[in-house]
Structures are given as structure tokens and as C-alpha cells.
């Protein structure tokens, strides 16, 4: 789903109370805040949805398949999302086809 479609869906659900521009600003602010908190190496827990956090991946050596050259990759942080049980159950219930 593209960003514009998400904004459209939210606008349909909440009606004329907010404009699409307001909804877009809200989404931007939410994502910026989420990124800022994660960069501070803190967890973000959204009840009924899941938990976002950064995990540190240790450095390793890698080999280029074509040239065979060996590279050393530094430690890095990667985003990680763990869905809540409620989220998993909702997905399971809504995707079951009998």
C-alpha cells in the first residue's frame, strides 16, 4: 500500500473532520517521532499493535561472489518489529478462508 492510499483510507474513516493535509502531517509527525525515539536506542511499544526497537548486528566478513574479494562489515543497528498477540490473532482471523 502506498502512502497516498493510506491517507485516503484514513480520510474515508474519519470523515470531513480532518483534511488529507492534516492526516499527512499527522503521519509524518508520528513517523518522525518514532525514528527519533528509536535512534535514542529506546523501544516503542504500541499496545494491540506491536513493539519497535533497534537491534545491534555484530560486524562480519563478507565475500563478493564475482571478484572473491573479502570485505569487513562494521557493527550496525537494524530496525526490528515484534507484532503483539492481538495483532497476530486479528491477522489470523481476518485471513482465514473457509
Each residue of 42-88: pLDDT tens digit? 999 999 999 999 999 999 999 999 999 999 999 999 999 999 999 99
Instruction: Note the pTM of the prediction, 2 decimals.
Output: 0.76
Task: Return the closest-CA partner of residue 75 out of 59, 64, 94.
Answer: 59
**At the topology level of CATH, where does 42-98 sit?**
HU Protein; Chain A (4.10.520)
Task: Return the closest-CA partner of residue 61 out of 73, 47, 46.
Answer: 73
Q: Contact 81/51 with Cβ under 8 angstroms?
A: yes
Task: Return the closest-CA partner of residue 30 out of 49, 16, 55.
Answer: 49
Amino acid at each position: 500500500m502506498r502512502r497516498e492510499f493510506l491517507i485516503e483510507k484514513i480520510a474515508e474513516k474519519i470523515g470531513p473532520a480532518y483534511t488529507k493535509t492534516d492526516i499527512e502531517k499527522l503521519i509524518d509527525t508520528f513517523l518522525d517521532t518514532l525514528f527519533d525515539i528509536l535512534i535514542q536506542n529506546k523501544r516503542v511499544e504500541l499496545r494491540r499493535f506491536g513493539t519497535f526497537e533497534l537491534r545491534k548486528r555484530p560486524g562480519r566478513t563478507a565475500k563478493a561472489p564475482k571478484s572473491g574479494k573479502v570485505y569487513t562489515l562494521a557493527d550496525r543497528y537494524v530496525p526490528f518489529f515484534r507484532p503483539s498477540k492481538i495483532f497476530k490473532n486479528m491477522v489470523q482471523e481476518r485471513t482465514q478462508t473457509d
